[in-house]
Structure 1
Amino acid sequence: MPVTRRRFLESTAVAAGVGAASVLTARAASADPAAVFRHGVASGDPLPDAVILWTRVTPTPDAVPGSGRGPAVVVSWVVARDAALTDVVRSGTVTTSADADHTVKVDVSGLSPATSYHYGFTAAGQSSPTGTTRTAPATSAEVDRLRFGVVSCSNWESGYFGAYRHLAARSDLDAIVHLGDYIYEYETGGFEGKNGVVRVHDPVHEIVTLADYRIRHGQYKTDPDLQAAHRGVPWICTWDDHESANDAYDTGAQNHQPATEGDWATRKANSVRAYYEWMPVRAAGTPDNRHLYRRLRFGTLMELSMLDLRTYRSQQVLPFQGAAVDSPDRTITGAGQMAWLTDSLVTSPTRWRVIGNPVMITPTLIPPLEPETTRAVTQLLGLPAGGVSYNADPWDGYTADRARLLDALRTNGVDNTVFVTGDIHSSWACDIPVDAANYPAAGTVATELVVTSVTSANIDDFLRVPEHTVGRVAEGAFRGLNHHVKYVDLDTHGFGVLEVTPAAVQMDHWYLVDKEDPNTAAYVGAGYRVSSGTQAVTPAAPLT
């Protein structure tokens, strides 16, 4: 039986088409704007001359997400230089219907680089909230600084989205990067927080059908803090597994039972369709080969490669099955994505190569702990009770692919590569060694900065103990056994702020006081910096 990522997370609990007559126009309706645009507005995937705009309309009271009901509706959009939307630079209309779950996505082009814009929509006689977005710098531009919010693993049932509220309050961000698990597929109570279910999922059952996924996306988009964060800056997103099902791989998932939930390909297609409808992402590739992995350029300073590590990967194996873990026939990226990634890293002309990486790539060993803690860790990690060396859901379970990628960096002399990662519900700062068994003598090839979860359960939640009690013991053990791991916090929740300058990349780890308090405060827990040319993380004073 393969290792389940869910169990992994349940214990480094210490180691760790309608005719024109049916189209509803603005003249034909008189609805409450809060009802028409109840899911807010968003933008995403900024290019130097373009950005995606998104919203959803509710033209009639029964046209709720996943219902398949409601007329087609004409939606007008506008992009302007001012918040009053009077200095208009681009505008247009689009018709949406129940076939697209009444979502609206517009890829607005003809914009100026490195420019802030305001945008809005009108439909059914009402206007949406006004959003703010920003285009990327021109590819030839010398950029002094970029700042991104970084988030991952936002489970509705495990707490409130205070991390989004604090990011929305900032005025220094160019974009927010979401590294996956934007929604969760579980039934209510399927993956709760320390004190049980904080907010009940809709629908209450595990989501499988297209309607299910649409309803769940719709529920998340009603959160006021999430709406505020989307309204303020563009987002750059990728999926991990919970956008479809836990521990997904190319032909199935741990949390998918064909006997009762049908064909995996159908379920996966449902999740993908809903995701593209509801998220402000621009698919890459061609109409016949649409894919989520893609690259965004920010002047000469940074190239950001966003990965998809669920669609093409081989099925997970048990981490102690060394021959299988190391098999060159197994892949986490798929051959096409690996070729695209290595080529982009080797040929990129930018100072920094940042990789939006859904699961950890740093090699980690499970440390020896006292028996009770070891049981909690191995349960969380889905490992045998005696403990083993590796967890097989992240890159540790696909060592041949990791070797291919890191060898390409090393042999081509590529420096300044930083993996920015989510998934593991904890915070890390790591050197990525050439040979973990011979670190630091063998040197490092890249670095990794891992952001904690917005809400999803981690060590103290699973063990139902106070923060920084059992977790502190495990953190010390991890660093003691894995000398290339320079920082780890297994207990807190929050977000990251990533700054990129010519001199360095730095992530500040911001933590919530209490994720179950909708008004929680936040504080800086740690900052880690990668200076240009070093391939090494070091502690740093918080960004100002």
Structure 2
Amino acid sequence: MAGAALPFAAAGRASAAPTPVFAHGVASGDPLPDGVILWTRVTPTPAARPGSGLGPASDVTWEVATDTSFATVTASGSVTASTESDHTVKVDVTGLSANTRYAYRFRVTSGPAAGSVSPVGHTRTAPAPGADVSRVRFGVVSCSNWEAGYFGAYRHLGTHRDLAAIVHLGDYFYEYETGGYSGSGGVIRQTQPANETITLRDYRIRHAQYKTDPDLAELHRTVPWICTWDDHESANNSWSGGAENHDASEGSWAARKAASERAYYEWMPVRPAASGNGRHLYRRLRFGSLLELSMLDLRTYRDQEVSSTSRRVDDPGRTITGATQMRWLTDGLASSTTRWRIVGNSVMISPVLIPPLDARNTAALTEVLDLPREGIPYNADQWDGYTADRNRLLGAIRDGGVDNVVFITGDIHSSWACDVPVDAARYPGAGTVATELVVPSVTSSNVDDILGVPEHTVGNAVPAAIMTANRHVRWNDFDAHGYAVLTVTPTAAQMDWYFVRDKTDPRTGRYHARSFRVASGSQQVQPVGGTAD
């Protein structure tokens, strides 16, 4: 979608500050070598609040330029913001140059807000598919609960240089009513609406509130995002036919899930992939010859969670990915020609078992006791509750000779560095097929928050117990909040974890916590002393 420069007035040189018309900022996402998604939301009148269904339609022009003064406009066009999309605007810009930084902006050209200009956003396209890329860096985040604290992690993440994108691994927001999930510290700041999000209006209002957080809005403005959802974008522990946090009094699950998906696609800078039945969120992005990033959807197609002590976790008929997504994932990993294969994974794939059992020698015992054959999972909401699918995926990686697979994961409100073993009970002798690097929550409650104790006191006993039983878990931290930076080069992938000092302080400091490195070809995590900066 290329075109000549639009006749913006000098007053159109917008700053980073939001305006009432563009109160929810601007964002970009899903960078390709020749394109990127651009997003904003227009508030044409004060009554046209998110979720209200009110306000006139407005024509909106957009520009992409190689300079912030917009002297050299590369692409431009016009779209309409209306109540149909909750006055959000999303443009899939094409025709751009690979591995190039761009500025972009929006301008309202009709209706009561005509002449209003958005803040100037900054984005970056991906390298060309065959480009020899020496380094790609991602900010990695998960689990940001408005009521549990401030988003200082986003502010600090924005200080890192040369980020190709922010990868958000799910739980961008939480669906609970006010006070429904804020930890022992109580409600730090109240969500809107105050009720649990169930309807399309509710989900739109909740999305909109998050976009007003200044640290989140600034990170959206300055760096493209690559996002997937987990459960809380719809309801806790969701699956294909329902959710733990949904009952019949709240209407049909299908209607609620459809409402949550519609609001997500309206309010997030994502590019859903087309399919025969409409669209889906799992997708793959490539960054030169260095890496492919496969973003998964582990909620829409999964079967219902079962008890951790049930042998049904091993049922080969149960799935976490769905058959179509599994084929897409395994075929994509096997056919990839890049050096690294990064998988954006919303729930942990590494086994965490109490304890890991050698299925060859304990099958008789587990069958008599009606227990899972590999041990009792710590959390059956993860891949541990769907062992047949995990075995299919890891088997495809092993049998296909696919190396340099790194799962980056969120969900569990804690930090982990793991080897992904062929057999947890026989680790390390049986070998490893991949690695996993898990990021902490931005604010969502950890062990210390739930128990109401100081950070790294009671929680310090948990990692030692887990790592003693699960030797492939090389490090974990159950208390701290923050983010991580993943740096990928031809020789290694390194994750640097950063923790914030106090999530209840909007100006909190941060510190570097740990770093782990995966050398190319090793399929193992190793601690390193310094960051990759």
TM-score normalised over the length of structure 2 = 0.91
Whether 2:393 is the aligned partner of 1:408: answer no
2:284 corresponds to which residue? 295
| Structure 1: stretches of 5+ with no match in the other structure | 1-25, 27-31, 369-386
Q: In the aligned structure 2, how far is the partner of 1:470 from the partner of 1:33?
A: 42
- TM-superposed deviation, 1:235: 0.2
Aligned length in residues: 494
2:237 corresponds to which residue? 247
2:260 corresponds to which residue? 271
Determine if contact 1:33/1:127 at 8 Å carries over to the other structure: no
Equivalent position to 2:99, from 89, 93, 114: 114
String of CA shifts for 1:236-285, please: whole Å, max 9, x gaps: 00000000000000000000011x10000000000000000000000112
Determine if contact 1:180/1:241 at 8 Å carries over to the other structure: yes
Compared CA separation, residues 472 and 407, structure 1 to 2 (3 A): same
- TM-superposed deviation, 1:365: 1.9
> SS of 1:207's equivalent?
coil
Compared CA separation, residues 391 and 33, structure 1 to 2 (3 A): closer
- TM-superposed deviation, 1:403: 0.1
1:225 corresponds to which residue? 215
Equivalent position to 1:82, from 59, 63, 67: 67
String of CA shifts for 1:299-331, please: whole Å, max 9, x gaps: 110000000000000000001102x10001000
| Structure 2: stretches of 5+ with no match in the other structure | 1-8, 10-16, 357-374
1:176 corresponds to which residue? 166
2:502 corresponds to which residue? 514
Determine if contact 2:18/2:24 at 8 Å carries over to the other structure: no
> SS of 2:417's equivalent?
strand
Equivalent position to 1:135, from 88, 107, 125: 125
Higher RCO, 1 vs 2 (CA within 8 Å, ≥6 residues apart)? 1
Give the % identical residues: 66
Determine if contact 1:367/1:478 at 8 Å carries over to the other structure: no
- TM-superposed deviation, 1:433: 0.3
Amino acid in the other structure paired with 2:462: A
Q: In the aligned structure 1, how far is the partner of 2:398 from the partner of 2:78?
A: 49
String of CA shifts for 1:28-51, please: whole Å, max 9, x gaps: xxxx96100000000000000000
Equivalent position to 1:459, from 442, 447, 455: 447
2:436 corresponds to which residue? 448
1:153-168 superposed matches below 5 A: 153-168=143-158
- TM-superposed deviation, 1:206: 0.3
Amino acid in the other structure paired with 1:36: V
Amino acid in the other structure paired with 1:446: A
Q: In the aligned structure 2, how far is the partner of 1:287 from the partner of 1:519?
A: 47
Determine if contact 1:185/1:206 at 8 Å carries over to the other structure: yes
1:480 corresponds to which residue? 468
1:310 corresponds to which residue? 299
Q: In the aligned structure 2, how far is the partner of 1:126 from the partner of 1:193?
A: 41
- TM-superposed deviation, 1:523: 0.7
Determine if contact 1:33/1:126 at 8 Å carries over to the other structure: no
Q: In the aligned structure 2, how far is the partner of 1:157 from the partner of 1:119?
A: 32
1:47 corresponds to which residue? 32
Determine if contact 2:499/2:510 at 8 Å carries over to the other structure: yes
Q: In the aligned structure 2, how far is the partner of 1:510 from the partner of 1:48?
A: 30
1:7-406 superposed matches below 5 A: 34-123=19-108, 124=113, 125-258=115-248, 260-286=249-275, 288-322=277-311, 324-366=312-354, 388-406=376-394
Q: In the aligned structure 2, how far is the partner of 1:171 from the partner of 1:415?
A: 28
> SS of 1:272's equivalent?
helix
Q: In the aligned structure 1, how far is the partner of 2:232 from the partner of 2:495?
A: 25
Q: In the aligned structure 1, how far is the partner of 2:70 from the partner of 2:441?
A: 36
Amino acid in the other structure paired with 1:392: A
Q: In the aligned structure 2, how far is the partner of 1:247 from the partner of 1:218?
A: 23
- TM-superposed deviation, 1:508: 0.4
Q: In the aligned structure 1, how far is the partner of 2:242 from the partner of 2:86?
A: 26
1:22 corresponds to which residue? none
Amino acid in the other structure paired with 1:112: S
> SS of 2:32's equivalent?
coil
Q: In the aligned structure 2, how far is the partner of 1:177 from the partner of 1:193?
A: 25
- TM-superposed deviation, 1:543: 1.8
Amino acid in the other structure paired with 2:137: R
Amino acid in the other structure paired with 1:440: P
Determine if contact 1:510/1:524 at 8 Å carries over to the other structure: yes
Q: In the aligned structure 2, how far is the partner of 1:421 from the partner of 1:245?
A: 19
Q: In the aligned structure 2, how far is the partner of 1:193 from the partner of 1:513?
A: 17
- TM-superposed deviation, 1:336: 0.2
> SS of 2:196's equivalent?
coil
Determine if contact 2:235/2:244 at 8 Å carries over to the other structure: yes
